[in-house]
Amino acid sequence: NAGVTQTPKFRVLKTGQSMTLLCAQDMNHEYMYWYRQDPGMGLRLIHYSVGEGTTAKGEVPDGYNVSRLKKQNFLLGLESAAPSQTSVYFCASMPGGFTDTQYFGPGTRLTVL
């Protein structure tokens, strides 16, 4: 099993450009999450999904959109990138039930100029 994979690993955008980050998991997990991590800080939840076709807002959802059309994939979109969105983005998945272990991807380092 590959676990949780993220594409791309690195990206540089100019202000106003758009992009989509892809997260894929092969563990048949129900729950999936997108976090951002800024220097010296923990992870902040952007959006999450509790199942195929569902999405919900986390702590810092503004400027991001998500979709989960297939159970194994969770996409994070930036419609109009801003320098404040420069961060490392992590995707995670969790089997289900009442809060279990989260499995993390390797991260995507995004720079917005």
- Chain contacts with other proteins (rule: CB under 8 A): 4, 31, 35, 40-45, 48, 50, 58, 90, 92, 94, 97-107
Entry field: residues in the chain:
113
Secondary structure E strands in 1-113: 4-7, 10-13, 19-25, 31-37, 43-49, 56-57, 65-67, 73-78, 87-94, 103-104, 108-112
CB 32 within 8 A of CB 68: yes
| Residue 101 beta carbon to other proteins: minimum distance, rounded to whole angstroms | 5
In the complex with other proteins, the residue whose CB is nearer, 10 or 15, is: 10
In the complex with other proteins, the residue whose CB is nearer, 4 or 75, is: 4
| Residue 40 beta carbon to other proteins: minimum distance, rounded to whole angstroms | 7
In the complex with other proteins, the residue whose CB is nearer, 14 or 39, is: 39
| Residue 46 beta carbon to other proteins: minimum distance, rounded to whole angstroms | 12
CB 74 within 8 A of CB 68: yes
| Residue 86 beta carbon to other proteins: minimum distance, rounded to whole angstroms | 16
